[in-house]
Every structure is written in structure tokens, then in C-alpha cells.
Amino acid sequence: MVRYFATPNDKLQAEFGYAKGSTYRDETKTKIATWGASFEHRFNGPVALTASYDGFRYQLVSSVKEHTFKGGVRFYFDNGSLLSQDRSGATFEMPKFQRTLPWSYNASLSRT
């Protein structure tokens, strides 16, 4: 994950994730790739607007891709900027591999 702050209240973020492994039943290789980008702008006050794009590719026997575009509003209950929250607040981020889990369940059912 990479973050860039154009101003203290304008955050650009990009991410990429990749995982590869065997299924629990046999040696068929599973491949997962995730990617995304987002922009967030916080106004003077508690309101921020966000826009993001997320995608993934899940590959086992066949391949599935998903592309998601989202927009939203966030409310902050402090006086800090987005940059100050990133540097001194909680910014724990997880890869988005969990979005592929429903596809892994469907693939395992079709192979039995």
C-alpha cells in the first residue's frame, strides 16, 4: 500500500496484493490478485468525501474478475488532518483477499 498526501487533507492511496497456494484437497494452484486506488478529501470540519476503485482476480479452475467503484462520506470526530491521523492514529490496513472467499467456496463445490 502506498499513500500520498497532496495537502494535509487530500489523500491518494494505491494498493496491490498477490497470493498463490494449493487447495486443501489437491495440488491445484489457487491464485489471487487484488488492486485498488482511492482518494479522500476532508473539508474544514468533520466531513470528508471519498471515492475508490477496487478489483480482484481469483483463479482456480476458471478465472473470475470483479471491479467495484464506490463513493462515500466519512465523519471525523477530532480536529486533526488526514495526514496527522495517518502519522499518529490507527491506520491498520488488511489486504482485500476476503472478497475472493465466496468464489473459492463455489469453486470447491463444483469440483466435488
Tally of domains within the chain: 1
Whole-structure pTM value: 0.76
Instruction: Quote the pLDDT of residue 1.
Output: 86
Instruction: Quote the domain boundaries for residue 89.
Output: 2-110
pLDDT, tens digit only, all 112 positions of the chain = 899 999 999 999 999 988 888 766 666 778 889 999 999 999 988 999 999 999 999 887 778 888 999 999 999 887 789 998 888 877 667 767 666 666 665 555 455 4
CA distance to 43, 74, 77, 83, per residue, from 31 (Å) = 40, 33, 40, 34
Kindly calculate the radius of gyration of the chain based on its CA atoms and give it in whole angstroms.
18
In the chain, helix, strand, coil percent, each to 5?
Answer: 20, 55, 30
Per-residue burial over 55-69, b if 16 or more Cβ lie within 10 Å, else e, is bbbbbbeeeeeeeee
